[in-house]
Amino acid sequence: MVEPPKETSPVTSDDSTDRTDGTDQDQQLLRKRRRGLLRMYYGVDDAEQGKKEVNMLDINSTHFKADQYLDQLYKTCDLQRLKTEKDKTKSEIRELDSDMQRLVYENYSKFIKATDMIREMKSDFHRMEEEMGLLSGKMQEIMSASASINSALANRRQQIAKLSGVHHLLKKLQFLFELPARLKKCIEMKAYSQAVRYYSKACGVLEMYQHMPSFQGIQKDCTEIISELRIILKDLLNDPKASARTVAETVDLLLQLKEPEQELYEQYLSNATRRLQEDLASVAACEMDVAEYVRLAHSSFLSNLQLLIGSFSDLFIKQAQ
């Protein structure tokens, strides 16, 4: 028989503290029970729980026995406590049902989204397989067309290579036959460097085939034109009005035409010495202050000296090394 409820004493500060502690314990117990129900719902059984001692009266355990739990409550609780446990259990059941329903709806929504996504991916994969099949077919067609073209051109490949070589040779011959006219045109236009470049490009071939009558005439005409060009370049080298840069370029062209280096070396130094003496004389003849004298000397004598030294080094010393 259930014991009658005991008389309650007035609430004190200690009772208030005990009630607060009891509320915290109830909330922790409620959270623990919810987690246990969720584990039961999803079939989760931790390996650590198997190592613990089985408690039949733990409502959050998978080994929970309702009959034994009720018997324990009847033995240890009074009527008021039983009513409180009943109300609390009903509240927890409603909250758990609400949580369960919300979880079911959320998981169902996620499941629907996942199903739609899988369906879309499946459709995309089918489309991709079709496109890959079409691409594979096109690649096969291209490979077969390439094989047929290679087989059709295999017999003519050597002929095409021979014709290409003949075409290249004909272009060289055309250049050789037009060389005298090109050289004359360059001399008329005073494009001396271009004329030397043309002759240097063709002189080796002309010397190699000079025993052939058709090339002998070309070589003779080119030799006469180049001799004329040598005379023009030497006159330009001795021209007192020519600039130091023009003299350096002229010496470089004569060196490319195989003129004796020693002779050009001496003539270049002789002309350079004469030019520098003329610059010094012109500077000394001017009556001016020291600043103007230094400026004039720097702009004429020193700049030409620097240019002559650099040109001499490039034309003779570096080429000899």
pLDDT digits (tens, 9 = 90+) for 154-188: 777 777 778 888 888 888 888 888 888 988 999 88
Cα distances (angstroms) measured from residue 128 to each of 46, 132, 135: 43, 6, 10
- Which comes out higher in pLDDT, residue 57 or 236? 236
Residue among 78, 37, 81 at smallest CA distance from 58: 37
Query: Which of the given ranges, 117-121, 240-244, 274-278, has the highest pLDDT on average?
Result: 117-121
Per-residue pLDDT, averaged over 215-234, amounts to 87
Are 96 and 35 contacting, i.e. CB atoms less than 8 angstroms apart? no
- As a whole number of Å, the end-to-end CA separation of the chain is 127
| pLDDT of 211 strictly over 70 | yes
pLDDT at 86: 81
Report the 10 Å Cβ neighbour count for 250: 23
What tens digit of pLDDT does each residue of 259-301 get? 887 887 777 777 777 777 777 777 677 776 667 767 777 777 7
The average pLDDT across 136-161 equals 83
- Kindly give the interhelix angle for 213-238 and 244-256, rounded to the nearest 10 degrees: 150
Mean pLDDT of the chain: 76
pLDDT at 13 over 80: no
Contact 82, 90 (CB under 8 A): no
pLDDT at 150 over 60: yes
Provide the pLDDT for residue 102: 82
- pLDDT higher than 80, residue 249: yes
257: confidence class by pLDDT, cuts 50, 70, 90: confident
pLDDT over 50 (residue 1): no
Q: Is the pLDDT of residue 201 over 80?
A: yes
pLDDT reported for residue 205: 79
pTM of the prediction? 0.43
Band (142; pLDDT cuts 50, 70, 90): very high
Which one-letter DSSP state was computed for residue 9?
A: P
